[in-house]
Amino acid sequence: MDTIPDDERGNTIWRLLSACWSYEPKDRPSAMEVSKVMNALGFRVHQDSKSTVKFTDEIKVEDIAAFFTQNGVIDYTAELQRHNLQSPYLTKASAILYRIDLSIQRSDQYIAHTQRVIVKCVMDQSPYKQLKRATRELYFWSSYKHVNILPLLGFAILNGKLAMISPWIENGSVTEYVKKQHTADYYGLCTQLSRAINYLHTNGVIHGDIKGDNVLVSNEGIVKVMDFGVSIMAQLRIEFTHTGVGRGTERWQAPEILRRKSDSSKEGDIYALGMTIIEIYTHDRPYGDTDIGHDEKSEIIMAVLVGGSCGTANL
């Protein structure tokens, strides 16, 4: 069969066919599993396609789901419906997170396996804005893969909302990790983080919200950058109407962003990277690990604007 390519994609097809031809019926994959593998393969072939979708007031969550499915992002809606997601693992102003054990299908495998995952549902008072924010983040997250970026496993429609699915990282954020691991390799963690940011910048992506809470550490000590909710990319295959630009979090923001003279930028990412490196070495967020009120925040902003920076006494 010369039409099947002699490469990684071809090897995946042969593994899939071998599974389909298993002597024992129970060993054969389901139609859903075959579909997921072929969808992922199709994404690899057509990932440079110029097709786009326009995000308008009339767009529906099903339209967005169809776009991502056609581009190789796995839809776990059916699997998620088997779970009773009544009690969130974590509720924040911007998102609700659920932690469950889900049957996961990797694009290079034909047999699913159970994995603990986080299901993230972006929140907004406006259903239109909620879908828009979730679509943007899912698009950015699904566009790039790197060892130091938290993998996106897929998406689902949950209670009419677009949700994103990623692996559960037990160690939590890098700040939590260094507090618990007294032998943590600070240099190695910072090096991995800088590689992730370099990868994004090289590919025309501005993260926009680099901070310790958005950097996880796996059991193997591998840094995983996450949260692309306010990221910026030069080329988009989803055409959005005007979208407000997020600028990250004040503790990590560069002076020009605090002055509102600049939106998120590569230079702003580098400033936030430096602040996050301080987090890693001191085990504290910039300007201390306690929550700061409005008055303290104003003082910090003024200090940065006149050329100051966070304290380095603990370095």
Q: Which amino acids are annotated catalytic?
A: 209
What is the C-alpha end-to-end distance of the chain, expressed in Å?
A: 62
What is the sign, positive or negative, of the torsion defined by CA atoms of 74, 77, 82, 85?
A: positive
Q: Which residues contact 206 (CB under 8 A, 6 or more apart)?
A: 200, 231, 232, 233, 264, 265, 266, 268, 269
CB 53 within 8 A of CB 67: yes
Q: Whose CA is closest to 151, among 183, 175, 187, 115?
A: 115
CA 205/CA 190 separation, integer angstroms: 19
Q: Which residues of 261-295 are buried (b: 16+ CB within 10 A; e: fewer)?
A: eebbbeebbebbbbbbbbbbbbbbbbbeeeeeeee
**DSSP class per residue in 65-92:** HHHHHHTTPPB-HHHHTTS---S-SEE-
Q: How far is CA 276 from CA 32, 193, 213, 304, in A?
A: 42, 9, 9, 16
Q: Which residues contact 177 (CB under 8 A, 6 or more apart)?
A: 171, 184, 189, 217
